[in-house]
Chains A and B, each alone.
Chain A
Amino acid sequence: MLNQQKYSIALVFLFLAVILTALFNISLGSVNIPISEVTASLFGFETEKETWKYIILNYRLPKAITAIITGSGLAVSGLLMQTLFRNPLAGPYVLGLSSGASLGVAIVLMGASVFGATFGAILLSEWSLVIASSLGSLLVMFAVILASVRLRDTMAILIIGLMFASLTAAIVSVLAYFSPASQLQQYVFWSYGSLGNLSWEEVSILSVFWFLGILTSIRSIKNLNSLLLGEQYARSLGTNINRNRFMVIIATSLLAGSITAFAGPIAFVGLAVPHLVRQIIPSSNHITLVPAVIFGGAILMLICDTIAQLPGSEYSLPINAITSLIGAPVVIWLLVRKRKFNF
């Protein structure tokens, strides 16, 4: 009935793929560690070389977890936004969250030249970028939520999100215009996104937000399904449109906001993963789609991160570029091959 069984099998395979890609992700890097040693150290056994265990537990594992959280979180927010706005082009950042975050970061990094040196010195601490980006996201999020409470038309929220994005981008441009090259470069590096550099402490904070966001998303599954019929039908099925919209915006803000704060603005994953997943599992039912998108997002991010590390070399590429470099051709290939667009 409803192809549910077939989809359940696909979900199991996706989950196994997450574990597999995670193992590869941990094993590959500037130093390649054999998979057997990776599993050994993950289960607490001794490894051949003591440094391997150190690398895995302090660098590779938190990075892999960050990849799983960012990939799945952004993908779920993308799915939520696509269903809420009934728009295949919507993604986690349509509400202007990333532009809010970039504004916060831009003010911290480049504000010094505009507002004076002391201002910059106060703000530049270890957590300053995370805090600035969270504050920026929060600011935009509150503005959008305020608008969403007053507006009855869901589509108007989409436009308002885009307007906020343009507005903040304009302010960032002005800041960048007056900034010296070194600070501008710092900002550009932030905008590349980064999955490493997160301490266990930061990973645990991020995972709390992720967990809350995912829970809120799961709570919205039934209402999201009713939205597949359009708002009027959803209402006639007993869905509280405004409350659901609020919940979905909260879930997206929790997920995309916290991820952007810790890992920078990571493009493409949120927009593309729901489409990739729909090609594999041609269902519209969010009971199937939400877990599938969680796994799919994690897989894509783990693969992209593995490639970005350029295994065996000293260099690494910006993750934000890799997600699009890998993801875009895959989406194009899938669409051309199937000649049909499932949305």
Chain B
Amino acid sequence: MRTETPNIVLKTDKLSIGYRKKGISQVVASDIDIEIKEGELIAVIGVNGAGKSTLLRTLSGIQPGLSGEVFISDKKISKIDPSELSKNISLVLTEQLISKNLSVLELVALGRQPYTNWIGRLNRTDLKKVMHAIKLVDIEEIRNKKCHELSDGQFQKALIARALAQDTSLIILDEPTTHLDLFHKAYVLKLLQQLSRETKKAILFASHEINLALQLCDKMLILKNKKALYGQPVDLIQSDSFKDLFPSHLIHFDKESSSFKIK
């Protein structure tokens, strides 16, 4: 039963993100008001150090916000216990120390942990969801390979499959396209778009691939000057949100082609 208006998966209310050091708050960005609905693909962009990772960490509950609130399906994130949260948000992270001795199948199967029993045995439903996730990202042929045998692109797909197997309404990815060549960058982002359409999961990812994101995303979140600009790519272009994203003496945003150009 799907209602006409899509469900809101995540919502923030005047969220302020940053760090607390010795009682002093260091605000990275403030007054963030966003709504993420099911089936949406959303890119978080901003220059290095703009706070993309901090935002993702706050939205996924790893790090508390400085003020304001994050709601996961109408529940305050700080009130959700970790095992419950793990059924709502799954992550795809970069630069993690993943044991490369895991096979792709084992890696994806670990996504089922929130649902398995005390020792982690997979039942029939778990196996079905694992196989389905593997099929969705099209890595069936390499499912018995060890992770150290995979190319960066394949490994990224396996990680995405793991997040899918976790069966959450929201998937958060931190720079899923780093280390990939242009083709695989486009491929992975296109895959994410496809997955958000097919599975009705909301997918939020941080990326430096602004040109690709503009073409693929339903919405974008720009972190700039400690503020967040949120909306559909067309509207963001109209409101000149991209104009001063980078120092303008080197690159500028060309409204005609909706892309950044070198001066």
Chain A residues with CB under 8 Å of chain B are: 1-3, 86, 218-219, 221-222, 225-226, 228-230, 232-233, 235-240, 278, 282-285, 287, 342-343
Contacts and interface: CB of A to CB of B under 8 A. Distances in A.
Contact of B102 (A228, A239, A278): A228
Contacts of A342: 101
Contacts of A240: 82
Interface string B96-109: 11110111011101
A283 B118 CA distance: 20
A238 B83 contact: yes
A284 B99 contact: yes
A221 B113 CA distance: 12
B101 A237 contact: no
Nearest to B95: A230
A219 B118 contact: yes
Question: Lowest 9 A-B CB distances belong to which pairs?
Answer: A238-B86, A222-B120, A238-B83, A230-B96, A228-B99, A237-B113, A236-B91, A230-B97, A284-B101
A232 B90 CA distance: 11
A240 B98 CA distance: 18
Contacts of B119: 218, 221-222, 287
B99 A222 contact: no
Contacts of A285: 106
Contacts of B91: 232-233, 236
Contacts of B87: 238
6 contacts: A219-B118, A221-B119, A230-B96, A232-B96, A233-B96, A287-B119
Nearest to B89: A236
Contacts of A229: 96, 98-99, 107, 110
B53 to A, nearest CB: 11
Given A222-B113, A237-B113, A238-B114, A230 B106 contact: no
Contacts of A236: 60, 62, 86, 89-91
A282 B144 CA distance: 12
Contacts of A86: 97, 99
A285 B101 CA distance: 10
B151 to A, nearest CB: 18
A225 B98 contact: no
B229 interface: no
Contacts of B8: none
Contact of B110 (A232, A235, A237): A237
Nearest to A285: B106
Given A225-B120, A237-B166, A2 B109 contact: yes
B236 interface: no
B225 interface: no
A343 B97 CA distance: 12
Contacts of B114: 237-238
B76 to A, nearest CB: 18
Contacts of B110: 225-226, 228-229, 233, 237
Interface string B24-37: 00000000000000
B237 interface: no
Given A235-B62, A236-B60, 4 more contacts: A222-B118, A232-B93, A237-B114, A342-B101
Nearest to A83: B99
Given A218-B119, A232-B93, A2 B82 contact: no
A238 B120 contact: no
A297 B177 CA distance: 43
Contacts of A218: 119
B85 interface: yes
A343 B101 contact: yes
A226 B113 contact: yes
Nearest to A229: B98
Interface in B40-91: 60, 62, 82-87, 89-91
Contacts of A235: 62, 82
A287 B119 CA distance: 7
Nearest to B92: A233
Nearest to B87: A238
Contacts of B211: none
Contacts of A284: 99, 101-102, 106
B199 interface: no
B82 A238 contact: yes
B116 interface: yes
A49 B90 CA distance: 67
Given A2-B105, A219-B118, A232 B62 contact: yes
Nearest to B163: A236
Given A219-B118, A238-B86, A287-B119, A233 B98 contact: yes
